[in-house]
Chains A and B, each alone.
Chain A
């Protein structure tokens, strides 16, 4: 029997019980939809985060104080004061780090910002005039502070959009003064709505010169982070090594295991995010895959009923010359067509839901969230669905093939 004809035969068998066939594959449809949705959203989230990291630039290198965190509980180790002004001086020397193009120290912490009788808990971000360039974040109104402002410990601030809304509502905020730790800061710029960006919410951040932040807001002498840009992507690795050597010299460290700082590149960060998101997505997909098993059992159940119901048809086919293998193929094919169709429908539904969610996220939550169609998940989904048809269809199909033509014809 030709493949085309067995397909036709199997399809006719399924058509005879349309609503039952549809209900049977519901389990498979739900399973594949869930997997597709999880994979698609996971990919979307990963793209979003990677995109943000990438927008900071692949030439960017981050130096943090303390040891590299060795796990979730180890994050406190970054809160040390090992990065100081003398390190800036050392790193800026051409002979130490020849490929250093830009360097920006960062200090940050939480403080309450007050305007008249309104107050708002904000993240204070002490940086330099390079901030806008490095983070690609320019004020929507006003300007970012200058190098002179940094050097002169100026009391100027660029505020995030949420802070503007909370403290000023619809009123003009530029040139108004807000109080942080009792000190007045003149607002010289307002950021547009940015949302979450690399784990920092710039909408509720206040950007001020790091000098002012160190001296008057936090009262510290150290930096929470140094952001360094190499002059070329090709020099990133060499620059990382130069930074390490320079800082070890500056801190009198001979054993690299005793480093009181750690250096990360964007590539490291991207790899980490990819790994975490990949594992998370796989885990969720695996949970969703359990529903496929349930769907498979449903298929087996219905196929067994169908085989019993069609005992006469099986007998007739055998009497007319169908071999056991012919019958087996026919019923297996029916199961596989059912589950593969369930897979296709599931992929369509999963993509549709994922697309709708991406529209909601990007339109209403202002995230830079693009819909992504995970082709690999789609191919895998159909494959897995068909495989489930094969596995769970095999037992009923064998039951059908085993029937003796005479007994099957006698069956009432």
Chain B
């Protein structure tokens, strides 16, 4: 059974009487532990797809089953709990809380997790160690480089040990070297720790770090392909 099962998924926005069909019947599966890139030009519906897959928005047609359960069967509060425990998010704009230390930023998902507070520090420090930022615990986001900010965001996505990591254009705001490092970490998470990684990007180069690419265009799947010559991020750095 696949972790993510999408069949005939539709999403229509209603904005002041105008209907916009962002997704028009999308079907695919993602297995646990897979590293999949969802690729497409802007306006293709890939961000909408990520929002629905990440339980940030509800679809308007078709079916989406996550971990065996249809999204329609979850209440809003349950969606929040799933986002918290089983999903991790990495955004293009990092979305760190300003004037808040790196450590506190990484702890943010723990606030809502029900995990005992005394273990928060340890969990957050472990996650920061995994992205190589143990020396930046007390820094504030404004004092970090773009690459460091994104690694803090990855640590934050990791801290609850989620099943899936959603990365929405994670290298979009980074220089190529920092971007490489981010991709290396994502590959490591997929291969060494078995996290499912779903990467959204518009660049073929970035997408080719994944095992499989789902190409989206005009709200539909254009093509699904296995990456034959997969790029290894660690080859190019250092």
Contacts and interface: CB of A to CB of B under 8 A. Distances in A.
Interface of A: 1-2, 4-5, 9, 12, 15-16, 312-313, 316-326, 404-406, 409
13 contacts: A4-B117, A12-B99, A313-B97, A318-B80, A320-B112, A321-B112, A321-B160, A322-B80, A323-B112, A325-B77, A405-B83, A409-B56, A409-B91
Contacts of A2: 117
A16 B84 contact: no
Contacts of A313: 97
Contacts of B98: 16
B186 to A, nearest CB: 18
A323 B91 contact: no
A326 B113 CA distance: 11
Interface in B50-105: 51, 54, 56-57, 76-77, 80-81, 83-85, 89, 91, 95, 97-100
Nearest to A16: B99
Nearest to A412: B93
Contact of A316 (B51, B77, B97, B99): B97
A170 B174 CA distance: 92
Contacts of A317: 108, 112
A288 to B, nearest CB: 37
Nearest to A318: B80
Contacts of B91: 409
B219 interface: no
Contact of B77 (A5, A15, A324, A406): A324
B109 interface: yes
Given A5-B111, A323-B77, A404-B57, 9 more contacts: A1-B111, A9-B111, A320-B89, A320-B156, A323-B80, A324-B77, A324-B80, A325-B77, A405-B83
A313 B108 CA distance: 11
Contacts of A405: 56-57, 83
A326 B98 CA distance: 20
Nearest to A408: B56
A405 B80 CA distance: 10
Nearest to B112: A321
Contacts of A321: 80-81, 83-85, 109, 112-113, 160
A404 B51 CA distance: 11
Nearest to A323: B80
B89 A319 contact: yes
A40 to B, nearest CB: 40
B42 to A, nearest CB: 14
Nearest to A317: B108
A296 B77 CA distance: 31
B84 A12 contact: no
A320 B81 CA distance: 9
B87 to A, nearest CB: 8
Nearest to B107: A5
Nearest to B120: A5
B78 to A, nearest CB: 9
Nearest to B77: A323
A12 B101 CA distance: 11
Contacts of B117: 2, 4-5
A386 B91 CA distance: 38
A26 B26 CA distance: 55
Nearest to A325: B77
A316 B95 contact: yes
Given A16-B99, A313-B97, A404-B57, A320 B109 contact: yes
Contact of B112 (A4, A12, A15, A326): A326
Contacts of A4: 117
Most buried by A among B80, B89, B95, B113: B80
B56 A324 contact: no
A251 to B, nearest CB: 83
Given A321-B80, A323-B80, A406 B57 contact: yes
Most buried by A among B56, B83, B84, B89: B56
B152 to A, nearest CB: 13
Contacts of A326: 80, 111-112
Contacts of A1: 111-112
A9 B57 CA distance: 26
Most buried by B among A9, A318, A322, A323: A323
A324 B97 CA distance: 19
Given A5-B117, A409-B56, A319 B83 contact: yes
Contacts of A325: 77
A286 to B, nearest CB: 41
Contacts of B113: 321
A406 to B, nearest CB: 4
B111 A406 contact: no
A312 B95 contact: yes
Contacts of A12: 99-100
B9 to A, nearest CB: 15
A406 B56 contact: yes
A326 B114 CA distance: 12
B108 A320 contact: yes
B196 to A, nearest CB: 17
Contacts of B51: 406
A322 B99 contact: no
A81 to B, nearest CB: 83
A146 B226 CA distance: 122
Contacts of A312: 95
Contacts of B109: 320-321
A337 B119 CA distance: 27
A1 to B, nearest CB: 5
Interface in B19-43: none
A161 B80 CA distance: 80
Interface string B146-185: 0000000000100010000000000000000000000000
A316 B99 CA distance: 15
A389 to B, nearest CB: 22
Contacts of B81: 321, 323
